[in-house]
Every structure is written in C-alpha cells, then in structure tokens.
C-alpha cells in the first residue's frame, strides 16, 4: 500500500506519518509538502532515512508537480493535511487560504480521479460549524450540524469540504472527511495556544490571552487523532463525514493556568489582549458516529496529554528554538504587540 500524505511536515501530518510507519510496516508513505512557515523538515528527521518513506517538496496547487508525483507513485490512498490553518493569519491574508485550501484540494482530487486512487481523505476542522453558546453545554457539533463559518480560514475549509462531497456525488470519487477538534502534542507550531504559552512561560515572557480567556475548545491529543484517521481511511464509509472529538472541553484561561502550574511559573505572566475579530466562543464535538461505526474513542485525557506535551517541549528545545526566531518573531510582534 502506498499513501501520499500532503502537509506531512506540519504538526498533525508529521504525527500521522510517524503513526502509519509504525502501525503498518508494509506501507510506503510519500510526504508532499511545500515547506511554508509551518512546514518544518527537521520534524521529519527521524524518518528521512526510512526506506519506506519519501519526501517531495511541492505545492498542492501545482498541477504539474502533483500529477507528476501521482503518475510516478500510483498511490492507493491520499490523505490531505496540507492547509493554511491559522485564523489570525487568514484575517490578515485571506487570499492565500482560499488558494491553498480550496484550489489545492481540487488539484489533488483531479489527480486522484486521473490515477484511480482508492480513497481520498480530507482532514477538516470543527471550525466549519461556527461556534456554540457558552450557556448551552448540552449542545454539540454533529455531522449534520449546518456549516456556519466565522473566519476566512474556516470558510476556506468548509468550501473544500463541500467540494470533496461534490466530487463524490458528481464523479464517484471515493472520499471521506474528518472534522477534528483542537489538536495538541509534539511538534505543534509555536504560534498556537498551547506551545506558545509553554515556550513563553519557559522564558518568563508575557502570556497573551485573548479577551478574558473564556473561549472553550475541545482538545484532542494528536496521537488519538492519527489513530482515528487510520481507522477512517481503512474502514470508514465512502462519502461520509466523521467528527473526531477529544471529550476535553477547556477554557483557554484554564489551560494557561495549568501550564503555569506545571512549569512552576506565576500567573502574573498572563496578559489579557484585545480579542480576535469574530472569535468563536465554544467548540464541542459529538464523536458518537465514529465510535459507533468504527469503535474509536480518545485514549488520552487532557491531564495526561498536557503533561506529555510540556515534557516534549522541555526535551526538544533544538526543534522549537530556531522557529521562534526570525520570521515568526516578527509575526508574533505584529499580531500581539498592538493588542494590549
């Protein structure tokens, strides 16, 4: 079995590659990644010499490169993680998100049709559903919840999802979609909440929290997510959407306080900054469908997962320290420096 994983030098994609190489010793994994700011080749260092792994630098919007790779490798399965994914960046530069997340998805599916791929899997997000009110803890996103996007990022992902389902209905392309809650774990890019707070706290820097920090997210440990996708591409029904949630709802401010406590840092480092435009209040996923059909449940509690994540960042400074310099540092100043 040959699987092309796009965006495999990013956070979730790289963890998926590690999982698949270990779980399926007879599989060959091809990573296609453009290596934008969030794609880090050093993340894949441990598998670069694996004879069952190949890395290809290319843009999923480049039809020539994509079709050339598909023609060469004849993949059985394609799993698309490649996406611009940071909400703040999408507010600053929406066009890049539309190009990569929509047109890139179309290019991949056209190649799948051309070369007879047996399964195309789209990795999506719970953000396509919009948000839920804080005073209704009984409400959850299901696969039938109407799409109601709040940002250029979530709009681009919702558009891609609709396109994937249209390719299934129009062309009979064998597709599946997973919509996950917020992931965390090793190799998480430092602009995201949990790694940002860990790294800033280690350096005794301010911990910027949007608004009052009351926004609620459902947190999913990345290894659990990878196992869910593995199940879906092998046993999930074609043409179906599966919600993948962590059953770990947490307020942003509570997560920041947990990180402070685990690192022995004072909560006085917390700095409240002007809220993000259109900031969703609560995400919460009902994963009943994937549990009942495929037997999947998250295995990692948040209390265990956050400890493992913090330890990983403590043990892997050589991975994240080069990232927080240069371009990312300039971006950080732009996004948070004028919000106080």
Catalytic positions are 126-127, 153
Task: Identify which of 321, 298, 310, 179 has the alpha carbon closest to the alpha carbon of residue 248.
Answer: 298
Q: Check if the beta carbon of residue 126 is closer than 8 Å to that of residue 183.
A: no
What's the chain's length in residues?
340
| Max CA pair span of the chain | 57
Instruction: Specify burial of residue 321 (Cβ count, 10 A radius: 0-12, 13-18, 19+).
Output: exposed
- List the structure tokens of 107: 């290019």
184 by DSSP, 3-state: which?
strand
- List the structure tokens of 163: 């396109």
Helix (H) or strand (E) holding 320: helix 317-320
Q: Check if the beta carbon of residue 24 is closer than 8 Å to that of residue 235.
A: no
């Amino acid at each position: 079995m040959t699987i092309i994983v796009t965006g495999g030098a990013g956070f979730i994609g790289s963890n998926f590659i590690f999982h698949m190489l270990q779980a399926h010793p007879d599989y060959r994994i091809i990573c296609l990644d453009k290596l934008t700011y969030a794609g880090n080749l050093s993340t894949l260092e441990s598998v670069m010499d694996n004879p069952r792994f190949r890395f290809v630098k290319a843009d999923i919007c480049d039809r020539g490169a994509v079709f050339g790779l598909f023609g060469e490798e004849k993949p059985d399965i394609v799993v698309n993680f490649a996406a611009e994914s940071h909400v703040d960046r999408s507010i600053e530069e929406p066009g890049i998100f539309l190009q990569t997340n929509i047109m890139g998805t179309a290019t991949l599916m056209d190649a799948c049709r051309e070369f007879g791929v047996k399964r195309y899997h789209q990795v999506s997000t719970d953000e396509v559903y919009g948000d839920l009110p804080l005073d209704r803890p009984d409400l959850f996103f299901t696969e039938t919840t109407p799409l109601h996007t709040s940002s250029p990022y979530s709009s681009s992902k919702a558009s891609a999802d609709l396109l994937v389902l249209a390719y299934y209905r129009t062309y009979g392309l064998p597709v599946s979609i997973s919509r996950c809650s917020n992931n965390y774990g090793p190799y998480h890019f430092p602009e995201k909440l949990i790694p940002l707070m860990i790294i800033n706290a280690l350096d005794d820097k301010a911990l910027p929290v949007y608004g009052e920090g009351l926004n609620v997210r459902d947190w999913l440990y990345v290894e659990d997510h990878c196992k869910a996708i593995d199940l879906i591409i092998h046993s999930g029904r074609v043409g179906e959407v599966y919600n993948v949630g962590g059953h770990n709802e947490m307020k942003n401010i509570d997560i920041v306080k947990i990180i402070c406590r685990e690192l022995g840092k004072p909560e006085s480092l917390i700095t409240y900054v002007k809220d993000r435009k259109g900031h969703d209040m609560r995400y919460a996923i009902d994963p009943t469908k994937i549990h009942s059909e495929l037997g999947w449940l998250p295995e990692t509690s948040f209390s265990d997962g956050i400890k493992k994540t913090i330890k990983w960042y403590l043990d892997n400074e050589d991975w994240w320290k080069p990232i927080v310099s240069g371009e990312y540092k300039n971006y950080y100043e732009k996004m948070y420096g004028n919000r106080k």
